[in-house]
Structure 1
């Protein structure tokens, strides 16, 4: 298996890289300093030269790039997994959210991800769109919940955590394994990856549990200032990921 990963300088992609290596896959990254995705000829030449068996698209970039990758995958029989976000659902939407629920994002980021999803599935209807929530890892780097909480506490001397918010979230190791599974077994269309789908921890509960696990002496102020059941479930109401309690117990 030869896997092309975009976004290797990001948060989740390095975890996917490591997971793929444990499966003895050959991994190649897309270096945008060398190959500009906006240069169609150069991008296509790179894809043809590498001839990947599968693509996992994690990088930020235009919807045109996402569509180009999906079109290449369709034309060459490669598996395509585009990593999207729970943010395609606005907080005004009643969760938990299922893959075919209307996408209601109002903010720029959520609307951008919707455009990318549409570009991918238009170019390759057999592609998989994997929506994920906030990611957690012990190293606390990148767009990571633990890093955010550490920074908030260092700045404010406390963490405000809403008991009215049930976030979509998972540990990065579990997300990476699930994305690699989707490369091998994905059936196409939107799929939801959320370790909080069934246990439904509120944000204040999650913060307290993370503080215990990672030995943080956080001061936590419980609020109700953000109301949203953000959880991502699949059509059967279940989850493809192990529950948070596997890590937090």
Structure 2
């Protein structure tokens, strides 16, 4: 099986390629240098020449706060880039997997969101990812849409690396304690995505590691496991204003995933 993975230079794409190779699959990872997904002709030409059996689309504009100002750049990558890839996958007869986000939800309440809950994004990044989901569904009857959250891995930027960096010269940090979600390790996620792409069990899925915690609790665990004597002060979202509004409830139910074995 030949699988094209976009966003290879990011933390998830990197682990997906690694996992596929480990299983003897033919993995082709691309970053922006190899394939600029906002260039429609380039995307169609690249996919038509490669003839992949599947595309796992991990590439995204993920700078959530910056996206509020750089709307065009964010839309180009997340909406247009996804559209071109989905069209190219259709033309090539390749399976298509789009990586989406918990940010498609408004994030109110305390109940975990199920796959069929109405999306209602509250920031521009989330809005573009939901727009992309709709495009994928309209173009392809058979596609995987996988919503992930709070990812961290060895490659790229993430919360774990930020906390470890802060621990180098801080004895105390303020971290938001009223946003709840599931920290998700890209190594685990990659194994799941490679499992999924080899099936025909298409649809929308929520894919996270087990359990829920706040960012503050996550920070405490990071410092505990790394042996860093850093005190975590749990603060409210309102005490840590950001350009983009974040959902307070990022809990997602994995009932569809469990139902699909």
Which of the five TM-score ranges fits, normalised by the shorter chain? 0.7 to 0.9
Q: Give the SS at the match of 2:230.
A: coil
After TM superposition, give the deviation of residue 98 of structure 1 in Å. Answer: 1.2
Corresponding position of 2:250: 230
Corresponding position of 1:41: 41
2:147 is the alignment partner of 1:131: yes
Q: Give the SS at the match of 2:255.
A: coil
Note closer, same or farther for the CA distance 1:221–1:68 as it changes in structure 2 (3 Å cut): same
Q: After superposition, give the CA deviation of every residue in 1:172-210 in whole Å (9 maximum; x if it has no partner).
A: 1101111111211252221001114xx323333332222
For 1:100, which of 116, 120, 142 is the aligned residue? 116
**CA distance in structure 2 between the partners assigned to 1:164 and 1:70 by the alignment:** 36
For 1:214, which of 209, 226, 235 is the aligned residue? 226
Q: Give the SS at the match of 2:117.
A: coil
The normalised TM-score by structure 2 is 0.79
2:25 is the alignment partner of 1:25: yes
Corresponding position of 1:16: 16
Corresponding position of 2:214: 202
2:53 is the alignment partner of 1:53: yes
Indicate conservation of the 8 Å contact 2:7/2:13, yes or no.
yes
Unaligned 5+ residue runs, structure 1?
A: 242-249
**CA distance in structure 2 between the partners assigned to 1:188 and 1:94 by the alignment:** 28
Q: How many residues align?
A: 237
| Aligned pairs for 1:56-205 within 5 A | 56-60=56-60, 61-92=77-108, 94-137=110-153, 139=154, 141-153=155-167, 157-185=171-199, 187-196=201-210, 199-205=211-217
After TM superposition, give the deviation of residue 16 of structure 1 in Å. Answer: 0.7
After TM superposition, give the deviation of residue 106 of structure 1 in Å. Answer: 1.7
After TM superposition, give the deviation of residue 163 of structure 1 in Å. Answer: 4.1
Indicate conservation of the 8 Å contact 1:163/1:203, yes or no.
yes
The normalised TM-score by structure 1 is 0.83
Unaligned 5+ residue runs, structure 2?
A: 61-76, 239-246
Q: Give the SS at the match of 1:92.
A: coil
After TM superposition, give the deviation of residue 34 of structure 1 in Å. Answer: 4.8
Q: Give the SS at the match of 1:220.
A: strand
Note closer, same or farther for the CA distance 1:7–1:160 as it changes in structure 2 (3 Å cut): same
